[in-house]
């Protein structure tokens, strides 16, 4: 339970590079919409707080979490972006569906990171209950969207050091 020891929204503002010249895509799942929209709001607010212009935040929605990797692939191949953030929420149910979706999305994001010359950021909540999801979408554990935005900015900065 790593989140029990660290709030997803807590970070040192000054440790985050300037993002004013960055362009970031966000692919967000519509499934569990009240959670994913809260994640999206957190990500967008954090990106803007660090200088990303609203017009440089490209948001696209896909039906569910399984579709996130394909949506991210299309976004990366058809847009001029520095990174793509993937936001979704899968909650454990009574069937193994949870395991298949979580594993597929995780492996898909790893593959995207290895195949493309830009970072793809994992912002998928994989929780046991709706309450756990709410706690991580602006609740008592902060917002995974904030964390994903900070990770995107830092990874873009990291990537640029190898390109120059």
Known catalytic residues are 97
16 inside domain: no
Query: Tens digits of per-residue pLDDT, 105-121?
Result: 999 999 999 999 999 99
Write the pLDDT tens digit of every residue in 58-85. Answer: 999 999 999 999 999 999 999 999 999 9
72 and 58 Cβ atoms separated by less than 8 Å: no
Is residue 98 included in any domain, yes or no? yes
Report DSSP letters for the chain, one per residue.
-GGGGS-TT---GGGSPP-TT--EEEEEESTTHHHHHHHHHHHHHHHHHTT--GGGEEEEEESSGGGHHHHHHHHHHHS--SEEEEEEEEE--SSTHHHHHHHHHHHHHHHHHHHSSS-EEEEEEEESSHHHHHHTEEETTEEHHHHHHHHHHHHHHHHHHHH-
Percent of the chain with pLDDT over 90: 83
Summarised one tens digit per residue, pLDDT across range 140-164 is 999 999 999 999 999 999 998 887 6
- Domain assignment of residue 132, given as a range: 22-163
Within a domain: 5: no
Is residue 15 in a domain? no
Question: How many structural domains comprise the chain?
Answer: 1
Residue 4 pLDDT grade (very low, low, confident, very high; cuts 50, 70, 90): low
Which CATH number do you get for residue 102?
Answer: 3.40.50.960
Kindly indicate the confidence band of residue 2, based on its pLDDT and cuts at 50, 70 and 90.
low
């Amino acid at each position: 339970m790593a989140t029990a020891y660290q709030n997803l929204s807590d970070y040192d503002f000054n440790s985050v590079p300037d993002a004013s010249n960055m362009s970031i895509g966000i692919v967000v799942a519509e499934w569990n919409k009240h959670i994913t929209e809260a994640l999206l709001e957190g990500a967008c607010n954090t990106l803007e707080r660090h200088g990303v212009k609203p017009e440089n935040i490209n948001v696209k929605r896909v039906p569910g979490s399984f579709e996130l990797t394909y949506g991210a692939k299309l976004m990366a191949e058809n847009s001029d972006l520095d990174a793509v953030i993937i936001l979704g929420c899968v909650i454990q149910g009574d069937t193994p569906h949870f395991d298949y979706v979580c594993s597929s999305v995780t492996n898909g994001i790893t593959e995207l990171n290895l195949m493309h010359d830009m970072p793809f950021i994992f912002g998928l909540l994989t929780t046991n209950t709706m309450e756990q999801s709410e706690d991580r979408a602006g609740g008592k554990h902060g917002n995974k969207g904030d964390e994903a935005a900070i990770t995107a900015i830092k990874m873009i900065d990291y990537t640029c050091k190898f390109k120059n």
